């Protein structure tokens, strides 16, 4: 019986290889959790991208950060302006969300529509953060699920 394998990750263009240190398992990690928290909340953990999809995701993240940086430097955290900057990159207006996330912070979510493929992040006066991922395990697409089993 073979198990499905995760596609191999490799250095992507423009990515500096980071040494990966082996992670030591903590003694408690060998004991099964008694509260089933991780099992019951697995539905809301985004699916990571691997292989060429990961490279495409990193490229999209760099483009999004570059497009939002001028707004961040000006202190422009208006969701409409963030949405306009993201649709200006060619993303469909119906697939881009931007919303106020505090007084000086805006969140955004882009549904790239590639089975699914998503970019999500926040922009504040300190930085713009973004991550690409492959949707959610329960098939909710790019929208975070509201509940599990």
Distance (Å, rounded) from C-alpha 144 to C-alpha 14? 29
What are 17's two structure tokens? Answer: 């290889």
Q: What is the pLDDT of residue 141?
A: 76
Residue 3 clears pLDDT 60, i.e. is over it: no
Give the whole-number percent of the chain exceeding pLDDT 90. 46
Q: What is the three-class DSSP state of 41?
A: coil
One-character DSSP codes across 54-123 = HHHHHHHHHHHHHHHHHHHHHT---HHHHHHHHHTTT--GGGEEEEE-STTEEEEEEE--SSS-EEEEEE
Interval 39-91: pLDDT, tens: 554 556 888 998 888 898 999 999 999 999 999 999 999 999 999 999 999 99
Q: What is the pLDDT of residue 15?
A: 73
Distance (Å, rounded) from C-alpha 137 to C-alpha 11? 26
**Every domain of the chain and the residues it spans:** 35-133
- Look at 10 and 35; give whichever has higher pLDDT: 10
Q: Find the range with the poorest average confidence among 1-5, 24-28, 63-67, 117-121.
A: 24-28
Q: What is the pLDDT of residue 39?
A: 53
**Contact residues for 81 (Cβ-Cβ < 8 A; gap 6+):** 71
């Amino acid at each position: 019986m073979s198990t499905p394998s995760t596609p191999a990750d490799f250095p992507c263009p423009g990515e500096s290889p980071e040494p990966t240190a082996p992670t030591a398992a903590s003694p408690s990690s060998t004991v099964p959790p008694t509260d089933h928290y991780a099992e019951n909340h697995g539905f809301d953990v985004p699916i990571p991208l691997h292989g060429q999809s990961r490279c495409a995701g990193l490229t999209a993240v760099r483009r999004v950060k570059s497009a939002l940086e001028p707004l961040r430097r000006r202190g422009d955290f208006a969701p409409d302006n963030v949405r306009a900057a993201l649709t200006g990159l060619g993303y469909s207006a119906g697939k881009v969300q931007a919303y106020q996330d505090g007084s000086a912070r805006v969140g955004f979510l882009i549904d790239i529509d590639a089975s699914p493929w998503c970019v999500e992040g926040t922009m504040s006066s300190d930085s713009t953060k973004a991550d690409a991922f492959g949707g959610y395990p329960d098939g909710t697409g790019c929208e975070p699920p509201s509940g599990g089993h």
